[in-house]
Chains A and B, each alone.
Chain A
Amino acid sequence: MGIAVNNVTKTFGAFKALDRVSINVAAGSLCALLGPSGSGKTTLLRILAGLELPDSGTVVAHDDDVTNRSVRERNMGFVFQHYALFRHMTVFDNVAFPLRIRGWSSAKMQERVSELLHLVRLDNLEKRYPAQLSGGQRQRVALARALAASPAVLLLDEPFGALDAKVRLELRQWLRRFHKEIGVTTILVTHDQEEAFEVADQVVVMRQGTVEQAGTPQQIFDHPASAFVMEFLGHVNIFHGRLEDGGRINLGNETPDAQTPVAPPLYVRPHELDLERIGGAGSLAARIVHINPVSSLVRVQLTAVELGVPILVEVTRERFEELALRVGETLYVSPRKARTFLPDYSI
């Protein structure tokens, strides 16, 4: 058993940051806490580290109730969003800090620090100060420092939040392999769903202080538990059509009248829509507004002719060339797949 958070509640004044949150993270796995700002993910991470105390609930790490332990006793590595490197110490002294206060001999310390700096690919920067490093390098020093005392758990708060896009992508893949290698139970906080899905074994989607859904990236992407998760995980088209008998989907052309109850909206991902030259039953006529052919998928933006709502469709390059799409043309949009969710009780 790795880490378990049971029924944790935390309030700041009148604001409920966490409301009876429970999560389980398997030992040795990498779990991402994903959510928009204000969803409570960072608060949960700080409670795990002992930097905040929960109002109620327990934190169990490796079968050991640590709820009332001090930060120091928990021995969890924590990497802060802005690294929190000791600015007056060299890279070496930063990484050696947890060893020095544990009274290691200087020979052992030297050996361990070299090993760690090699692990994070910063072999020749021992004598530099944090101010002389780039953002990505600082991030890795912080990681090495957090790992120095062999923590049982590694906690990362928005680890790539302050880096530029290219470094971010690179470090993401690197972290994935790095985690495989060190095998320490790791929990990271992020608001970037791509990041969470790329690095994590398990993703916990949070919203307004509660867990919205937890599972593997595949489970969550394929079977979102709510409209919130669906919308949070990437672009989604929302139609006010309806599912007809026999599973056929009717998009739009549906004038709601007083007799028929309003159907819940249909959620369709851009890649689940198809474009055709000839309209079939239930398809929707739309005019192409913009074509973005930069990636392997071609993104086509359209506007529904009758309803005026914007639609985003992703088609493969082959399909794009087959149809020879041009801006201004009118085509027919039909879904291969659509989802509905029961309306939120709050609406």
Chain B
Amino acid sequence: MASDLPPLSADPSPAREQANAKPQAAEGSTTLRQGQQDPAWVRWTLIGLAVIVLIVLVVVPVVNVFVEALGDGVGAYWENIAGNEETLHAIGLTLLVAPISVILNTGFGIVAAWLVARFQFPGRTILVTLIDLPFSVSPVVVGLLFVLLFGMQGYFGPWLRDHGIRIIFATPSIIMVTTFVTFPFVARELIPVFEEIGPDEELAALTLGATPWQMFWHVTLPNIRWGLLYGVILCNARAMGEFGAVYVVSGRIAGQTDTMPLLVERLFQEYNTPGAFAVASLLTLLALVTLIVKAYLERKIDAEK
């Protein structure tokens, strides 16, 4: 049907242009480095100082967690974790609270980031400020605020008691404060992602006949997936590690409202050092896994650009 159209010549490939540009940049940076180099002793002193600080502040403590945890052998380590009902309950509670908070914040984060990045509306600045609020408020203060609202002497306390609902000193309050504290992670991560992608692909989907819902599933979500996962991972790490706010609202009832970080502190106070380090090693492992996934995602995001 289109037989009389002329063939179009091949356009210059973008890959070739990049290849041509590279050697120049490399050359430029080499000459720059030679000209700006400091004397050897300055360089090695600075590098040495940085390495020492890193070892003392980061490497030694992290290694020590595992050394202390495994000090009495693998058998004792396993016994400290699996053989202790309180520990198992704390792990279970953390594994309940963190996912719920992450799911809530993922939903909220996507909507908030999308609104902030795509639209100008009255109250937009207030929304941005509210997203950042949990970063700037001390978690202990957050805990106190929730006690003030839902505690026995709080505003909603009497009503909740009359209806037999327990929030403070129970799981609901732990979920609430954890969600509050980890509120900004997904939204903050996604705002720049949305801004960089721009609205054109979404608008294109609409002009092609997609419903807003189809647009979200087929265009928006796939475009933000790595940034979203990155935010979720950070949100999850923070949710599992939250201490201050949970400390205040949980009432610290052993075997009932102790999460993993609270349990580490309790065991340590009770001079059960191997037990404390055993639970701490689990949280540290989570941190290491988070960092590995984070590094992987960062490479993935860079590759997509």
Question: A residues touching B (Cβ–Cβ < 8 Å)?
Answer: 49-51, 70-72, 75-78, 80, 82, 84-89, 97-98, 101-102, 115, 118-119, 121, 134-137, 145-146, 148-149, 164, 167, 170-171, 173-174, 177-178, 181
Contacts and interface: CB of A to CB of B under 8 A. Distances in A.
A97 B203 contact: no
B200 A84 contact: yes
A72 B210 contact: yes
Contacts of B122: none
Query: 9 nearest interchain CB pairs?
Result: A134-B11, A84-B200, A84-B204, A98-B208, A78-B207, A136-B11, A71-B206, A88-B222, A84-B201
B39 interface: no
What class of interface size applies to chain B in its complex with A? 20 to 34
Contacts of A76: 207
B214 A101 contact: yes
Contacts of B290: none
Interface in B1-44: 1-2, 4-14
A174 B5 CA distance: 7
Interface in B195-248: 200-201, 203-211, 214, 218-219, 222-223
B150 to A, nearest CB: 43
Contacts of B10: 134
B1 A88 contact: no
A174 B201 contact: no
A260 B63 CA distance: 97
Contacts of B14: 134
Nearest to B212: A72
A167 B201 contact: no
Given A101-B218, A119-B2, A51 B207 contact: yes
A148 B205 CA distance: 13
24 contacts: A70-B206, A71-B206, A72-B207, A76-B207, A78-B203, A78-B207, A80-B204, A86-B205, A86-B218, A86-B222, A97-B208, A98-B208, A102-B209, A118-B1, A118-B2, A121-B5, A134-B11, A134-B12, A136-B11, A146-B208, A164-B12, A173-B6, A174-B5, A177-B5
Given A86-B219, A167-B11, A119 B1 contact: yes
A86 B201 contact: yes
A70 B214 CA distance: 15
- The listed residue with most B CB atoms (<10 A of its CB), out of A88, A102, A118, A149, is A88
B188 to A, nearest CB: 23
Nearest to B206: A71
Contact of B5 (A50, A84, A148, A181): A181
Contacts of A146: 207-208
A177 B2 CA distance: 10
Given A119-B2, A170-B8, A80 B200 contact: yes
B21 to A, nearest CB: 16
Contacts of A167: 11
B211 A72 contact: yes
A170 B207 CA distance: 27
A135 B200 contact: no
B3 to A, nearest CB: 10
- The listed residue with most A CB atoms (<10 A of its CB), out of B6, B205, B207, B211, is B207
A80 B11 CA distance: 20
A213 to B, nearest CB: 29
Contacts of B203: 51, 71, 78, 80, 84
B11 A72 contact: no
A149 to B, nearest CB: 6
A167 B11 CA distance: 7
Contacts of B304: 87
Contact of B7 (A121, A148, A177): A121
Given A72-B207, A101-B210, A177-B5, 4 more contacts: A70-B206, A98-B209, A101-B218, A149-B208
Contact of A101 (B8, B208, B222): B208
A89 B218 CA distance: 10
